[in-house]
């Protein structure tokens, strides 16, 4: 509590500095500059605004929120509450204040379906949660990419009429005569008009080539969801939302925003379970903490591992911090994040070391606390200064952290179980890691002071609550 009071006093002092700067006649930001990233991406809602007189609307002040990353404009949007505005956040829907991006593809490790292989488009043709860039069989047809003549379109037969590098299913001119298959009366024999010499229904779906909206693939129903004249079976963008099938998390429902609120790889299309109808590719709401691991599980294992809001109270733990959790070394600041399946419920946690390397004197920060569960991420708390369990790895070896969480006031669903215990392991190697572990309160205060004085802003400073 003392930390909170101290932080409030510091912010009030900085607010006075900002107001005094304005009173001295220095120039404040124009409204167009103050509104940093107001929902430009389309991924977010209207941000909460508070205090500051009339706000940016009349140009007299702007609002600034102190976060773990320093400062953000309160008029900007931050869907996951990690202190990084959505337009600049490499995981806009998953809280990742450290913005870790091991492969440098501008997609944060927390939401990257190939965290070790650059794949900015996040293509996942077979929707198994493993990106095409690191999936050895991207289209799921049991033929490895290295020998598959249509690596991104399932074609187990590997049919290839003209013997080029493309299989018939993804070759637009199967006889290589310069006439596209959709216009070729004799698709498999070069330069031959429609006659008994050629097969006019090679896919055997009852539709002859000239009347088949997809002559390369069997589609007797001629389904064409986006009504573009190309059948869904061979349309690279079946739903016409501007996302090619291989990078679309909801192939047959238009969802240009690619919303995936529960992080399971299946697009919610922004209207999950509207009026009791599933108008998306996702028939459940069950948050996935580790999508790469989730993709390798059986259906029953997936159902047991994700956080379902309708099930008994439970938590999941995940590691993050100053370095890649899979390559931790001495000196790293390691964070243990807690996720719960009770949205908007206040959860109390207690964390202890169950195992530490010999000679380690490391202690847990935020080993006890209480916070709400943050919507959109299922994470308990969204301010790492007060709600993220962390420790510095002072010795190489195995650390195990046990966390017990309980619902304050009991389970709102009325279920008898209101506490749950989980344990997580961190393997730390020898070496010298970056122990800075994110922004300290001193860094945040310095950023705020520079903003108030150096940029001459008359600002009312508010701390965003967890």
* Structure tokens given for 367: 């080993």
Which of 1-5, 89-93, 173-177, 238-242 is predicted least confidently?
1-5
**For residue 275, which phi and psi values (nearest 5 degrees)?**
50, 35
Provide the pLDDT confidence category of residue 368 given band limits of 50, 70 and 90. Answer: very high
Instruction: Give the per-residue pLDDT at 92.
Output: 81
C-alpha distances out from residue 88 to 83, 150, 178, 210, 232, Å: 10, 35, 45, 48, 35
Residue 447 or 266, more confident: 266
Query: Is pLDDT at 190 greater than 70 in this prediction?
Result: yes
Could you give the dihedral angle defined by the CA atoms of residues 36, 44, 98 and 282, in that order, rounded to the nearest 10 degrees? -160
Which of 92-106, 113-127, 362-376, 424-438 is predicted least confidently?
424-438
Query: Is pLDDT at 317 greater than 90 in this prediction?
Result: yes
Please state the pTM of the whole predicted model: 0.48
Which of 4-13, 41-50, 86-95 is predicted least confidently?
4-13
- pLDDT (mean) for 166-171: 89
Domains of the chain: 2-93+441-463 (no CATH), 315-429 (2.60.40.10)
- Mean of per-residue pLDDT scores for the chain: 74
Which of 22-31, 55-64, 138-147, 217-226 is predicted least confidently?
22-31
In the sheet that 62-67 helps form, which strands lie side by side, from edge to edge?
Answer: 70-73, 62-67, 459-463
Percent of residues, the chain, with pLDDT higher than 90: 21
CA 367, 3, 73: angle at the middle one, nearest 5?
105
Instruction: Give the per-residue pLDDT at 209.
Output: 66
Provide the pLDDT confidence category of residue 390 given band limits of 50, 70 and 90. Answer: very high
Query: Is pLDDT at 463 greater than 80 in this prediction?
Result: no
Residue 275 or 57, more confident: 275
Provide the pLDDT confidence category of residue 432 given band limits of 50, 70 and 90. Answer: low
Looking from the CA of 111 toward its CB, the CA atoms found within 13 Å total 29
- pLDDT (mean) for 143-155: 91
Residue 348 or 324, more confident: 348
C-alpha distances out from residue 295 to 135, 291, 464, Å: 11, 6, 35
Query: Is pLDDT at 100 greater than 70 in this prediction?
Result: yes
């Amino acid at each position: 509590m003392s930390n909170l009071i101290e932080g409030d006093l510091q912010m009030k002092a900085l607010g006075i500095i900002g107001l005094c700067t304005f009173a001295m006649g220095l120039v404040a930001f124009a409204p167009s500059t103050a509104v940093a990233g107001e929902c430009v991406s389309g991924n977010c809602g209207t941000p909460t605004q508070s205090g500051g007189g009339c706000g940016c609307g009349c140009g007299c002040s702007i609002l600034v929120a102190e976060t773990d990353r320093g400062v953000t404009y309160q008029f900007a949007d931050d869907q996951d509450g990690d202190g990084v505005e959505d337009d600049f956040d490499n995981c806009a829907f998953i809280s990742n204040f450290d913005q870790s991006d091991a492969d440098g593809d501008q997609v944060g490790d927390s939401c990257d379906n190939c965290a070790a292989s650059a794949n900015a488009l996040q293509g996942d043709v077979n929707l198994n949660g493993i990106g095409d860039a690191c999936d050895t069989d991207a289209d799921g047809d049991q033929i490895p990419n290295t020998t598959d003549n249509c690596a991104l379109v399932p074609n187990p037969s590997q049919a290839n009429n003209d013997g080029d590098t493309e299989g018939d299913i993804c070759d637009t001119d199967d006889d290589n005569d310069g006439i596209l298959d959709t216009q070729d009366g004799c698709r498999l024999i070069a330069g031959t008009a429609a006659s008994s010499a050629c097969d006019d229904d090679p896919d055997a779906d009852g539709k002859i080539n000239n009347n088949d909206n997809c002559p390369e693939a069997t589609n007797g129903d001629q389904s064409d969801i986006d009504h573009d004249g190309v059948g869904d079976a061979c349309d690279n963008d079946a739903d016409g939302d501007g996302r090619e099938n291989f990078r679309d998390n909801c192939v047959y429902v238009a969802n240009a925003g690619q919303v995936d609120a529960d992080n399971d790889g299946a697009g919610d299309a922004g209207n999950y379970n509207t009026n009791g109808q599933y108008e998306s590719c996702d028939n459940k709401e069950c948050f996935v903490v580790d999508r790469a691991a989730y993709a390798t599980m059986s259906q029953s294992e997936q159902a047991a591992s994700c956080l379902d809001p309708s099930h008994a109270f439970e938590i999941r733990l995940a590691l993050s911090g100053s370095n890649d959790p899979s390559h931790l070394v001495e000196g790293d600041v390691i964070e243990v994040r807690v996720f719960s399946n009770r949205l908007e419920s206040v959860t109390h946690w207690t964390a202890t070391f169950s195992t530490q390397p010999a000679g380690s004197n490391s202690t847990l920060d935020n080993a006890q606390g209480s916070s709400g569960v943050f919507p959109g991420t299922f994470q308990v708390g969204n301010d790492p200064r007060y709600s993220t369990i962390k420790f510095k790895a002072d010795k190489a070896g195995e650390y195990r952290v046990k966390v017990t969480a309980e619902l304050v006031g009991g389970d709102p669903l009325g279920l008898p179980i209101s506490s749950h215990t989980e344990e997580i392991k961190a393997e730390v190697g020898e070496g010298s890691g970056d122990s800075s572990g994110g922004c300290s309160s001193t860094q945040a205060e310095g950023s705020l002071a520079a903003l108030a004085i150096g940029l001459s802003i008359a600002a009312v400073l508010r701390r965003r609550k967890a």
